[in-house]
């Protein structure tokens, strides 16, 4: 669709103010001529390039169709059309966007600064003079400070002590070791009463330490003396007294019983004598 200059100007007037100001202040048409000359475009081709570029600016043509339209209307190859679009994007569209939105941000910052200055210079905002109420507030436990005054803590702050716990870790019994047990006197009784076996040294051949462990060396067996009471009585000769009891008339089968009976009678006689 071919638009007249009046229709194009009407579209520009409908744009937001920041974009409209950027279009009017920026020499975008001069950039179109410079790009066209760098690609050897003729005057009528420059006019076509300028018109379609303006249609993209005001929103009548989509940016995605921009390259195809230039390639078809100018009769150029794909690579040349792509190079022209890249340069137009860097030198025209990006610059317009930068001018439009950067100016808007700067204006917002200026408005905020003005509002802050207005609040600071407000004649109806009276400064708070707290010198008159310092004493009253101090009695209530509140200390008023100036913004440049350091606070000095003059009161002690009570700190809560942690309750002491009576818990103690259980002590596990350690296993006793043999090399740490004390040796007592009772443990040495068996050692003191124990005698060394000297039979190996009392043989008739007088065994020397060198021959003590030979295979042919014989060790006499130990003679055990029976200390039983009955055998002592039979192996002992008693002299007759008035208290002697004759047991010869008893047979051998009654000798053990007679011995026991003799001991009982002997004990009874000693008790009667005393």
187-238, pLDDT tens digit by residue?
666 555 555 555 555 555 555 666 656 666 665 555 555 555 555 555 555 5
Q: Which residue has the higher pLDDT, 231 or 94?
A: 94
pLDDT at residue 270 is higher than 70 = no
Q: How many domains does the chain have?
A: 1
pLDDT at 80: 92
For residue 247, the tally of other CB atoms under 10 A from its CB is 13
Residue 176 lies in a domain: no
pLDDT at 211: 61
Q: List the one residue out of 229, 248, 232 whose CA is nearest residue 240.
A: 248
pLDDT at residue 10 is higher than 70 = yes
Q: Per mean pLDDT, which of 146-155, 164-173, 252-261 is the most reliable?
A: 164-173
pLDDT at 111: 47
pLDDT at residue 158 is higher than 90 = no
Tokens of 105: 């941000």
pLDDT in tens, 127-153: 555 555 555 556 665 665 655 555 555
Q: How far apart are the C-alpha atoms of 55 and 59, rounded to whole Å?
A: 6
pLDDT band with cut points at 50, 70 and 90 for residue 118: very low
pLDDT at 152: 56
pLDDT band with cut points at 50, 70 and 90 for residue 79: very high
Domain with 39 in it? 5-120
Residue 23 lies in a domain: yes
pLDDT at 63: 86
Q: List the one residue out of 89, 90, 21, 79 whose CA is nearest residue 56.
A: 89
Length of the chain: 274
Cα 248 from chain centre: 101
C-alpha pair distances (Å), 273 with each of 8, 13, 238, 269? 165, 161, 20, 6
For residue 128, the tally of other CB atoms under 10 A from its CB is 7
Residue 156 lies in a domain: no
pLDDT at residue 67 is higher than 70 = yes
pLDDT at residue 68 is higher than 70 = yes
Residue 82 lies in a domain: yes
Residue 219 lies in a domain: no
- Side-chain half-sphere CA neighbours of 236 within 13 A: 10
Residue 99 lies in a domain: yes
pLDDT at residue 9 is higher than 60 = yes
pLDDT at 116: 47
């Amino acid at each position: 669709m071919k638009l007249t200059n009046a229709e194009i100007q009407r579209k520009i007037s409908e744009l937001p103010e920041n974009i409209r100001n950027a279009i009017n202040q920026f020499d975008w048409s001069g950039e179109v001529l410079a790009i066209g000359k760098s690609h050897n475009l003729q005057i009528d081709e420059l006019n076509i390039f300028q018109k379609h570029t303006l249609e993209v600016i005001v929103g009548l043509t989509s940016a995605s169709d921009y390259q195809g339209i230039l390639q078809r209307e100018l009769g150029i190859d794909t690579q040349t059309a792509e190079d022209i679009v890249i340069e137009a994007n860097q030198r025209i569209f990006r610059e317009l966007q930068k001018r439009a939105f950067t100016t808007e941000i700067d204006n917002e910052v200026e408005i905020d600064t003005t509002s802050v200055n207005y609040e600071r210079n407000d004649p109806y905002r009276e400064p708070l003079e707290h010198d008159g109420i310092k004493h009253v507030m101090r009695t209530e436990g509140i200390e008023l400070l100036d913004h440049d005054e350091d606070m000095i803590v003059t009161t002690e702050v009570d700190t809560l002590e942690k309750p002491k716990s009576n818990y103690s870790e259980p002590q596990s019994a350690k296993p006793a070791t043999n090399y740490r047990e004390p040796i007592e006197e009772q443990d040495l009784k068996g050692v003191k009463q124990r005698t060394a076996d000297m039979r190996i040294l009392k043989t008739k051949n007088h065994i020397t330490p060198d021959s003590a462990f030979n295979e042919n060396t014989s060790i006499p067996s130990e003679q055990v003396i029976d200390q039983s009471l009955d055998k002592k009585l039979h192996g002992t000769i008693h002299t007759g007294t008035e208290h002697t009891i004759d047991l010869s008339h008893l047979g051998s089968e009654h000798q053990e019983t007679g011995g026991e009976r003799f001991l009982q009678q002997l004990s009874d006689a000693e008790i009667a004598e005393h």
